[in-house]
Amino acid sequence: MDLLISELILEELLIYGSVALVCFVIIFFYIRKQQKQSKHFEAKIIKAKEEGLFEPVSLHPVIDTNSCIKTGACLTACPEKDIIGIVNGRATLVNASQCIGHGACFHACPVEAITLRIGTEKRGVDLPHVNQNFESNVPGIYIAGELGGMGLIKNSVEQGKTAVENMVQAGFNKNNPQYDLIIIGAGPAGIAASLNAKKHNLKFVTLEQDSLGGTVFTFPRSKIVMTAPMHLPLFGKIQLRDTSKSELLELWTKVLSENNIKIKENTKVESIAYKDEQFIVTTNTDEHFQTEKIVLAIGRRGSPRKLNIPGEQLEKVAYRLLEPEYINNKKIVVVGGGDSAIEAALSLAEQNEVLLSYRGDSFGRIKPKNNEKIKEAIANSKIDVRFNSTIQSIELTHILLKTENNDRLEQIENDLIYIFAGGELPTQFLEKAGIQISKRFGYTLLKH
């Protein structure tokens, strides 16, 4: 009997010992995998800091490490990849400056450990005052999309739609102005606002300083627009993951056409004034529109920044690149050192002679893939890159280029010039309309 009991005890000990050994092995390999993963992402963070890619430049996630349970859902959800990594079992930002505010990580986190913020403790971002209904400090003027800090297509669509919904709920005075609503900007937010205005049978007009699509229209033709499922008024749910700019524009054109909505393109709003309980909107064509309410759905950069040099008004100068595949056998100068300039130069280099002029001594804060491609293009002599250089003047057949530490101006034959010097928040325009602007540091735009 004692022998049987001893055998049973021994058998149980062997079972427990085997289980303990298996658990130990699992824990050992789990910890080793976690350590290996941490070292991998720590190396990426060091590299990102060296390359100036660690500091966020737009809407970005902030992770509460005390709440994070290391599911990795945020990593899987991020369409850009390599923005977030796992260090010591917790999610953390890696290439933060590459984040473009998709917000997918925010929605994917199962424990709501992520908030979306704009600006950091060191770098402030100018933002207009907007309440929870997307109404600015000026009653009757609503702000949606990129201007309010939310540039992601899905969120811009939602804001444009909701802004109109909120003003409809607030009601209209119906004091017989020309329009109930004027929508300024025909990007994602402006299109959604237009569709919702049509749905509610409002008298409205949509004004766009360029062409349908706003900022999206200025992307190179092959640019892939990363977006998520969204709901458009009068159309329904749209499931888009990876789609080209042209496909997205075709969709918007179809939706607007089916609902008999026409965008008034190439019409830039110069000023907004308030008189006799209505807004007076004046455009560059000297037209005047009277309206009770306004949705501002313009981009944060307003008009493109100019070099302010002689000859910049010539027709061969442009500030955006459209359909580069149709430009052939030209001598082209591209100005700028950001992703837009580099992508433009790369797309033109196959069929043209391209010189890229940048005032800095190296490219900073550009996407890793663009960095690799431009280095390869330089090594293969496909693009002539001139660092520390500035254009002094533009002539019909050439430009005068000055390089630092060189007193001599170089005359370079030239057919076309594309300038990508960025743009600025249209502060003067907004403040003239009475809209307050504040510099926000680490301002939370979305939280659970």
- CATH classification of the domain holding 336: 3.50.50.60
Whether 77 and 107 have beta carbons less than 8 Å apart is answered as yes
Domain-located, residue 309: no
Q: Residue 371: what pLDDT?
A: 87
Round to the nearest angstrom and report the end-to-end CA distance of the chain: 64
Could you identify the residue written with the tokens 């709440």? 67
Q: Looking at 2-16, 36-50, 159-173, which range is the least confident one?
A: 2-16
Cα 79 to Cα 100, 141, 280, 445, distances in angstroms: 10, 33, 42, 20
In the block, which residue shows the tokens 């109109």? 164
Q: How many helices (H) and strands (E) does the chain have?
A: 9, 26
Instruction: For tokens 């990426």, name the residue.
Output: 44
pLDDT higher than 90, residue 12: no
3-state class percentages of the chain: helix first, strand second, coil last, to nearest 5: 35, 25, 40
Q: Is 206 helix (H, G, I), strand (E, B) or coil?
A: strand
Q: List residues bridging with 293 in a β-sheet.
A: 181
Indicate yes or no: pTM above 0.85.
no
Widest Cα–Cα separation across the chain: 109
Average pLDDT for residues 304-315, to the nearest whole number? 88
Question: Is-contact 319 217, C-beta < 8 A?
Answer: no
The average pLDDT across 266-285 equals 91
Q: Does 347 share its domain with 393?
A: yes
In the sheet that holds 398-403, the strands lie side by side as 389-394, 398-403, 410-413
Same domain for 106 and 31?
yes
Q: 173 and 288, same structural domain?
A: yes
Separation of alpha carbons 399 and 317, rounded Å: 11
Mean pLDDT to the nearest integer, 171-198: 90
Average pLDDT, the chain: 83
Give the percent of the chain with pLDDT over 90: 36
Q: Of the given ranges (121-125, 184-188, 260-264, 432-436), which has the lowest mean pLDDT?
A: 121-125
Residues 76 and 51 in one domain: yes
Report yes or no on 312 lying in a domain. no
The model's pLDDT over 48-97, given as tens digits with 9 standing for 90+, comes to 777 666 777 777 888 888 888 878 888 888 876 778 888 887 888 887 77
Q: Name the domain count of the chain.
A: 3
Which helix (H) or strand (E) segment holds residue 25: the answer is: helix 2-50
Residue 219's pLDDT is 57
**Highest mean pLDDT (candidates 21-35, 56-70, 80-94, 341-355):** 341-355
**Cβ neighbour number for residue 323 with a 10 Å cutoff:** 10
Mean pLDDT of 33-57: 72
Strand-pairing partners, residue 295, are 142, 183
Please check the confidence at residue 375 and state whether its pLDDT lies above 70. Answer: yes
DSSP string, 294-349: EEE---TT-SBPP---TTTTSTTEESS---GGG--S-EEEEE-SSHHHHHHHHHHH
- Quick check: 73 and 110 in contact, CB under 8 A? yes
Residue 293's SS3 state is: strand
The pLDDT of residue 121 is above 80:
no
Residue from 399, 375, 376, 396 nearest 387 by CA: 375
344 with 408, same domain? yes
Q: Is 329 part of a structural domain of the chain?
A: yes
- 181 is in which domain, residue-wise? 126-303+426-446
Query: Is the residue at 311 inside a domain?
Result: no
Q: Is 100 exposed, middle or buried (0-12, 13-18, 19+ CB in 10 A)?
A: middle
Highest average pLDDT, of 180-194, 202-216, 354-368, 423-437, comes from 180-194
Q: Which of 88-102, 153-167, 201-215, 250-264 has the lowest mean pLDDT?
A: 88-102
In this structure, the answer to whether residues 198 and 289 fall within a common structural domain is yes
Mean of the pLDDT values across residues 157-166? 92
Query: Which of 368, 382, 376, 367 is closest to 334 using CA atoms?
Result: 382
Identify whether residues 149 and 111 lie together within a single domain: no
Same domain membership, residue 162 and residue 238: yes
Ramachandran bin of 81, using left for φ above 0, alpha for ψ from -120 to 50, beta for the remaining angles: left
What Å distances lie between residue 204 and 212, 242, 250, 257, 429, CA to CA?
Answer: 17, 32, 23, 16, 22
Is residue 411 pLDDT above 90, yes or no? yes
Tell me what pLDDT residue 226 has: 55
Same domain, 199 and 253: yes
- The verdict on 98 and 136 lying in the same domain is no
Same domain as 293, residue 330: no
Question: Does residue 153 contact residue 188 with C-beta atoms inside 8 Å?
Answer: yes
Cα separation, 448 vs 105, whole angstroms = 12
Check whether residue 202 and residue 343 sit in a common domain.
no
Question: Is 310 part of any domain?
Answer: no
What does the pLDDT read at residue 37? Answer: 66
